[in-house]
């Protein structure tokens, strides 16, 4: 391995031409201009504020989402991009109900609260105080998972806690889950440096927990929130039912509550009462929002980049994924403002319905295939508006080498990760879908620092104030720099 690197560097040193060096200098100077404009005059942060504060959350099929789509179209039109279109797609429409209650009864609960407080070292005092108050009333911070059926009036069940699937199967096969409410309580593996890896290891509880427990006769499930933080916010998210099994209701509970319930349930029978009236309505018409700058050399070849415009209904969808949409919009604005003439056609896309269906991504890919729009590359930003660190590449070895060769150009801006991996849910159909028009397409997902992402993810804390202006603008500039390099170097 080292020998190969040595030989490569040796050849590079000997064969380097002034033409290549001049190109690299030009690239370096232009990328500097991109970052300068983003950091001095960036538009992403103020547009994100307008979106979050003016429209709030944007659950697929909600009136709020539709109003925000209109705003996005008008906002993009104000920049005089070559074209701005709303691309229709039908989206599912799950709706949280007016009633959303989870109660617990146990004489032991208050006594055990002190023990919880003694062991949960990192909970700050204010948080503990709020917790005591809420727990004393026996109403727990919880919310329905997206896609859950309602309870059709209050239902009750004894709490059973499981920490992994083996435990679930053991209890289930022993008949101990019949008529119970099962709490899935496997915490994030804090040892994983990327919090997305920890999420990946736990999210089966949220997505499949209801059907896993229904198989053994449970009447409802609670799922420990998908978060690294010990807090009081339930984190919602999508869940699915297996068709062959009873559909039982599912709620997320805050991580601190999951800890406490698990501790108390260990030596006390807890009776839970759940009452939620969420429902799934008929599909509704919605839209992807697309802005395009036409390519000069190869207008029929596309580079698409974007985030998803829908969000969950907790918080304001600021990091997930208002940030990604604003990254993409700002990348297009930066290139236009700097007078850049793209070789390929550049498309900024706000995909609709990533959270619970990815119908927008499917519609975009189908339309691209229908129109024969050959995509040479696609980029997605759906990991929050934090300091950018690099890219996850869905790429072959030649493409990996090409992109890694640009590392020195991006290093001054803290970009150092070029990992092989998935690029994102919304760009994937363009490459891997049944009617993909280019299965060799280079796809990239922006990787921001992940440490805080799941503090906010799908929770009421995912609001504009949780986004830092500089971190957001660095992300937009990084996306723009990568689009520029792709546009310059791809055929």
In the complex, which residues of this chain contact a copy of itself (CB under 8 A)? Answer: 1-3, 5-7, 9-10, 12-13, 16, 35-36, 39-40, 45-46, 49, 53, 121-122, 124-125, 190-191, 193, 195, 228-229, 387, 389, 412-414, 416, 449, 451-452, 455, 464-465, 468-471, 474
- When the beta carbons of 124 and 166 are compared against a copy of itself, the nearer one is 124
Contacts 24+ apart (CB under 8 A), 27-30: 27/406, 27/409, 27/484, 27/485, 27/488, 28/409, 30/338, 30/340, 30/484
Q: Least distance (Å) from a copy of itself to the CB of residue 346? A: 24
Whole-angstrom distance, CA of residue 321 vs CA of residue 312: 10
Residue 213 to residues 41, 116, 196, 448, Cα–Cα distance (Å): 52, 27, 25, 35
Residue appearing with tokens 């290891």:
201
Q: What end-to-end distance do the CA atoms of the chain give, in Å? A: 30
487 neighbors 344 (Cβ within 8 angstroms): yes
Residue appearing with tokens 């804390």:
461
Query: H helices within 371-412, ranges in order?
Result: 397-404, 407-410
Q: Least distance (Å) from a copy of itself to the CB of residue 148? A: 30
Q: Least distance (Å) from a copy of itself to the CB of residue 332? A: 19
- When the beta carbons of 31 and 59 are compared against a copy of itself, the nearer one is 31
Q: Least distance (Å) from a copy of itself to the CB of residue 14? A: 8
CA 193-198-201 angle, 5° bins: 145
Q: Least distance (Å) from a copy of itself to the CB of residue 334? A: 14
Neighbours of 117 (CB within 10 A): 16
- When the beta carbons of 177 and 474 are compared against a copy of itself, the nearer one is 474
Whole-angstrom distance, CA of residue 260 vs CA of residue 104: 12
- When the beta carbons of 122 and 439 are compared against a copy of itself, the nearer one is 122
- When the beta carbons of 162 and 472 are compared against a copy of itself, the nearer one is 472
150 neighbors 316 (Cβ within 8 angstroms): no
- When the beta carbons of 11 and 271 are compared against a copy of itself, the nearer one is 11
Whole-angstrom distance, CA of residue 369 vs CA of residue 363: 10
Q: Which residues are within 8 A (CB) of 434 and not within 5 positions of it... i.e. 6 or more apart?
A: none
Q: Least distance (Å) from a copy of itself to the CB of residue 306? A: 23
Omega before residue 417 within 30° of 0, cis: no
Q: Least distance (Å) from a copy of itself to the CB of residue 56? A: 13
- When the beta carbons of 9 and 136 are compared against a copy of itself, the nearer one is 9
Q: Least distance (Å) from a copy of itself to the CB of residue 16? A: 7
- When the beta carbons of 150 and 187 are compared against a copy of itself, the nearer one is 187
Neighbours of 197 (CB within 10 A): 14
- When the beta carbons of 324 and 429 are compared against a copy of itself, the nearer one is 324
Whole-angstrom distance, CA of residue 378 vs CA of residue 392: 12
Q: Least distance (Å) from a copy of itself to the CB of residue 13? A: 3
């Amino acid at each position: 391995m080292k020998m190969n690197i040595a030989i490569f560097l040796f050849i590079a040193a000997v064969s380097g031409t002034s033409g290549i060096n001049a190109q690299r200098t030009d690239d370096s100077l232009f990328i500097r201009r991109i970052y300068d404009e983003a950091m001095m005059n960036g538009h992403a942060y103020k547009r994100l504020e307008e979106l979050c504060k003016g429209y709030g959350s944007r659950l697929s099929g909600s009136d709020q989402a539709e109003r925000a789509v209109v705003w996005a179209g008008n906002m993009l039109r104000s920049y005089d991009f070559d074209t701005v279109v709303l691309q229709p797609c039908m989206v599912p429409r799950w709706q949280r109900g007016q009633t959303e209650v989870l109660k617990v009864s146990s004489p032991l609960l208050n006594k055990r609260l002190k023990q919880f407080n003694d062991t949960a070292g990192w909970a700050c005092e204010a948080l503990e105080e709020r917790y005591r108050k809420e727990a004393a009333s026996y109403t727990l911070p919880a919310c329905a998972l997206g896609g859950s059926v309602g309870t059709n009036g209050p239902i009750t069940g004894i709490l059973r806690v499981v920490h992994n699937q083996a435990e679930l199967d053991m209890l289930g096969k022993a008949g101990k889950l019949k008529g119970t409410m099962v709490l899935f309580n496997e915490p994030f593996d804090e040892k994983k440096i990327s919090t997305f890896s920890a999420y990946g290891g736990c999210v089966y509880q949220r997505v499949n927990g209801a059907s896993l427990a229904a198989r053994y006769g449970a009447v409802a499930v609670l799922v420990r929130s998908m978060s690294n933080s010990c807090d009081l916010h339930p984190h919602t998210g999508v869940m699915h039912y297996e068709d062959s099994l009873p559909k039982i209701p599912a709620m997320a509970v805050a991580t601190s509550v999951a800890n406490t319930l698990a501790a108390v349930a260990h030596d006390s029978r807890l009776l839970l009462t759940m009452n939620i009236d969420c429902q799934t309505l008929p599909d509704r018409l919605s839209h992807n929002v697309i802005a395009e700058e036409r390519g000069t050399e190869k207008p029929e070849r596309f580079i698409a980049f974007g985030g998803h415009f829908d969000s969950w209904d907790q918080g304001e969808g600021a990091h997930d994924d208002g940030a990604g949409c604003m990254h993409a919009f700002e990348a297009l604005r930066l290139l236009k403002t700097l007078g850049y003439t793209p070789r390929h056609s550049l498309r900024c896309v706000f995909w609709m319905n990533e959270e619970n269906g990815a119908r927008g991504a499917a519609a975009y890919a189908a339309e691209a295939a229908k129109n024969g729009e050959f995509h040479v590359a696609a980029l997605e930003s759906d990991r929050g508006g934090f300091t950018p660190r690099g890219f996850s590449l869905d790429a072959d070895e030649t493409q990996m080498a090409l992109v890694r060769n640009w590392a020195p150009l991006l290093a001054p801006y803290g970009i150092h990760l070029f990992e092989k991996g998935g690029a994102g849910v919304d760009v994937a159909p363009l490459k891997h879908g049944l009617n993909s028009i280019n299965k060799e397409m280079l796809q990239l997902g922006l990787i921001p620092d992940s440490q805080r992402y799941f503090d906010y993810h799908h929770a009421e804390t995912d609001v504009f104030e949780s986004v830092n202006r500089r971190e957001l603008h660095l992300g937009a500039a990084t996306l723009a720099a990568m689009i520029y390099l792709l546009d310059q170097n791809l055929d």
